[in-house]
Chain A
Amino acid sequence: MLSFAQILISGILTGALYALVGIGLTIIFGVMRVINFAHGELLMVGMYISFFAATLLGLDPYVSLLIVAPALFVIGVLIQRYLINPVLKAPEFNQILVTLGVGLVLTNSAQLLFTADYRQVRTAYSSLTWGGNLAISVPYTVSFLLALAITAALYVFLMRTDLGKAMRATAQDREAARLMGINVERVSMVAFGIGAAAAGAAGTLLMPVYYLFPAVGEPFTLKAFVVVVLGGMGSVIGATFGGLILGAVEAIGSLYASTGYKDAYGFVIFLLILILKPSGLFGRSRV
């Protein structure tokens, strides 16, 4: 029983990071109707920035969020403006190729610049635990809380600010949004920027507990995709719960079946959702 509780808690803590990656993907999909297959690679870029901030500047990974998020925002805006916007009216297949291509370029550039070596940032708190016998990881807990805080901030942004509302309006009816005087090109750049920043932030939050190499992002693109489909394409609330559910399912699957198939459990629920409730759990939510 103790190990079940332990595993479930650690799964949910990891799930908040999946949620954050998924939220980025779902915002980009919602506003642009483009699936960003470079999403995990943006997480990887965020991790490298965080890594070098730690090794070169001596910054704590959590502090480096303040550098990573704005940097990824700018990268996202540039990707939207110069690579995605030109293919927005092109067939979906072309859009997929563009985002896949961006991902490949990022991974291979990282390999060229930083080699394929595994890297890690060891912090004083990396192996600390709390909760007595439950032995809950302190950095996972901190990352969980920060991920939830970022999610809550994004929620408030989308619900309360004019720009956030314009994003939701653009997601619901792009042409009507144009007719309202919303500059949808600008809204799209901000949306991609926020989506990329969310991925980068998730990478930074992984830094104290994970290792880094150029292809680290790949599985995260797929996980983000599972999270988004689970919650309902375009729904931020859905991605939040989708992430937590995916984290829990992976953990429980690892406990009762095998750790070796950890990545497969997500796809099982992915298929179940597609069969049973294709619109996702929160497909018609406001955010």
Chain B
Amino acid sequence: MSVSKRQRARIIRGVQYGVLVVAVVVFALVADWHQLRMAFFDVGVVKALFPEIITTALVNTVLYTLLGFGFGLALGLVLALMRLSSVPPYRWIAITYIEFFRGIPCLLVFIALGFGVPLAFEVALDMNVTVMLSLGLVGAAYMAETIRAGIQAVPKGQTEAARSLGMSHGRAMVSIVIPQAFRIVLPPLTNELILLTKDSSLVYLLGLSLSQFELANFGRDALNEHKSLTPILIAGLLYLVITLPLGQLVRRLEARTAKAR
């Protein structure tokens, strides 16, 4: 008996569903649910985590991220403009900077600023300043390339129209080109914000006091205290509380840009 192509595809799909169902059932029967629940969702531990995991840890994660993002965005814009400058040395500086900071781990920058600078120059930077610089210096390298692409994506006719109205090059950039470029790069910049949110966990390297704990560090500390994976799960979920809406925002912005073109 011959089987048509379509029938064969249906049979294969059925087998795949079957395998999945069997795997789930076997796992549900074999797993020790009590121990899993105690490890990942121990209600007593959850209660002990709140409210500090929100009022201290989540707040600090957001604070560190915004410090790094703000500084990185400003520096990234400057670098993007230098990268597009008609003055060659500006371009060289920008390219060197971007290649360097894009190529090294953020972790290394944290170590350099947190320990290297205080040792070498005998000055201790404020914690928040160290975080801002470390996250921002690396973030700026990525954002500079994004912003540059955005500026170049604005049609040449826009600059020509602005210049033909008597605007200087700088005025045309500020009033006409950069506002349009930012609309174009808003989705990729939001992605960068999500990456920075996660990279902010690197502050643990600096050695934090209790009030400076952010989500990852708070979770690790609570893990030691309670001998439970629950704090890690909760910390992870709280990262998602920050990043999922941002991802949603990116999709919305992309849809809006697609409509406007």
Q: Do A and B come from one complex?
A: no
Interface residues of A (CB under 8 A from B): none
